[in-house]
Amino acid sequence: MARANDWASKVMSLINGGNAGAAIAQIKVAPSVKDLKALQTIMTLSRLAGRWPNVDAAIADNLVALGAPRLHRSP
């Protein structure tokens, strides 16, 4: 079983490589809120927050989406 930090570090390698589109695609299918928060923390600590506004917006949007309670689940 993979650790949460593994996912965040893999997404960070995409961001550092300049492939923001692939990073955003991975952020949209993030495994959990914990993983997204780990990615957000890594970006803040490495002073990359704000360099890619689209990535920052994707993280914020998906934190809200994953954190919201589900009103209906399909069968």
Element spanning 23, H or E: helix 20-28
51 is in which domain, residue-wise? Answer: 4-65
| Angstrom distance (rounded) from CA 71 to CA 4 | 26
pTM, two decimal places: 0.79
Instruction: Per residue of the chain (75 residues), give pLDDT as tens.
Output: 555 468 999 999 999 998 999 999 999 998 889 999 999 999 999 888 888 899 999 999 999 988 877 666 555
Residue 31 lies in a domain: yes
Count structural domains, the chain: 1
In a domain, 74, yes or no: no
CA distance 52 to 41: 15
Tell me whether residue 11 is in a domain.
yes
14 is a domain residue: yes
**pLDDT at residue 3, rounded to an integer:** 55
What angle, rounded to 10 degrees, do the helices at 53-67 and 33-45 form?
150
